[in-house]
Each structure stands twice: as C-alpha cells, then as structure tokens.
C-alpha cells in the first residue's frame, strides 16, 4: 500500500468535497460527473433531457512559501481550477453559485492510500479525522465564452463556467 503525496491528496479531498456539496444540495445534484481531466470529461455526453453536468477539478499550479527564516518548512498554496459544463445557462450558474457558496469556507484535507492501483481512503476506514484543511483565500468565477454562437458550438462548450480558488493548506510541510 502506498501513500499519495500532497497534491494528489488535495485533488482527491477536493473531489470528495465537491461530491458532498452536490449530494447535500436541495434538491441534490445526482447527475453531475466530477472528473480530473478534459479527456475524462469528453467521455461524458451532455444531454439536455437528462439535465446532466460535468465538473473538472484539479490543482493547476502550486507555490511553496517559506514559513520561517532558517527553516525548510513551507506553506503550500495551490491554485485550484474548477470547470463546470452544463446543458443550460441557468444550470451552470446554479451549480457555480452553489460551489462558490460552499467552498468559500474551505474543505477538509485528507491523506489517502493506494491499494493495488485503486484509491483507499484510510481516513474513513480507520475512523480518524481529516489531517488539516484547505483554506480558500480568494475565489474568481467567469463564464467561458468561446466567441461563437452557442447554437453552433460543441455541446460540451455551449454552457461553461470557470472557478479559480487561491488556497493554502493549514499544515506546514518539511
């Protein structure tokens, strides 16, 4: 069994937080796929009748800030990018507003283990608590407009929104 490193733990913690937010909404969003890459998103077909949506969530860039003079301790500051794809303008805005409202208070940071190529959540299996928190400093959100008539755009590109989170992890790293 191997342990995930910090960036992968942040991404997995983010995916779990997003799924929890979506399932806890009133009414719950049960038809939203949370994935890591555009390649994975392209495998999910948006359907206006099903009113499904796709969220791509990943760590884009990370800064490591020295915590104190003469020490190797650093504060990890990831830039998180969340892309929301939907079947209507209203749906994308509703999902975006829900995510912004819930993520502004941050989310728990968990450490995960891999077992035979799959992710095993040691935190939940052992009953321990989260190992820190991801604090959100700033949030930016913007519509993704590809500059063409939406009716002519690819179905995946008609209704898109991008959320960026400037964050930091509460625990210092050696």
- What pLDDT score was predicted for residue 1? 57
Structural tokens at position 50: 């099903």
Place of tokens 């960036």: 7
Count of C-beta atoms within a 10 Å radius of residue 161: 22
- What pLDDT score was predicted for residue 2? 64
Is 14 part of any domain?
A: yes
Is 121 part of any domain?
A: yes
Is 67 part of any domain?
A: yes
CA–CA distance, 91 with 112 (Å, rounded to integer)? 32
Whether the Cβ atoms of residue 58 and residue 11 lie closer than 8 Å to each other: yes
What 8-state DSSP symbol labels residue 147? S
Does pTM top 0.75 for this prediction?
yes
CA–CA distance, 28 with 17 (Å, rounded to integer)? 14
Buried b (16+ CB within 10 A) or exposed e, 16-28: bbbeebbeebeee
- What pLDDT score was predicted for residue 128? 43
Per the structure, the complete domain to which residue 154 belongs is given by: 2-169
- What pLDDT score was predicted for residue 135? 97
Is 174 part of any domain?
A: no
Mapped onto helix, strand or coil, the DSSP state of residue 99 is helix
> What is the CATH classification number for the domain harbouring 11?
3.30.2000.10
Is 88 part of any domain?
A: yes
pLDDT averages per 10-residue partition of the chain, 174 residues: 79 94 95 95 92 96 91 94 96 97 96 66 50 96 85 82 97 85
Place of tokens 């913690």: 13
Is 91 part of any domain?
A: yes
CA–CA distance, 76 with 59 (Å, rounded to integer)? 12
Is 126 part of any domain?
A: yes
| Domains identified in the chain, total number | 1
Integer distance in angstroms from the first to the last C-alpha of the chain?
Answer: 22
């Amino acid at each position: 069994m191997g342990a995930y490193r910090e960036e992968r733990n942040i991404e997995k913690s983010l995916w779990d937080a997003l799924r929890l937010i979506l399932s806890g909404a009133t009414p719950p969003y049960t038809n939203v796929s949370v994935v890591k890459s555009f390649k994975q998103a392209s495998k999910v077909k948006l359907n206006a009748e099903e009113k499904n949506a796709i969220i791509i969530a990943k760590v884009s860039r990370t800064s490591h800030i020295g915590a104190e003079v003469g020490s190797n301790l650093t504060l990890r500051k990831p830039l998180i990018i969340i892309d929301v794809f939907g079947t209507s303008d209203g749906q994308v805005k509703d999902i975006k507003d829900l995510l912004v409202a819930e993520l502004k208070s941050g989310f728990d940071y968990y450490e995960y283990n891999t077992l035979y190529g799959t992710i095993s959540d040691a935190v939940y299996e052992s009953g321990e608590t989260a190992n820190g928190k991801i604090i959100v400093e700033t949030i930016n959100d913007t519509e993704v407009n590809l500059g063409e008539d939406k009716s002519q755009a690819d179905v995946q590109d008609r209704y898109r929104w991008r959320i960026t989170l400037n964050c930091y992890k509460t625990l210092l790293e050696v």
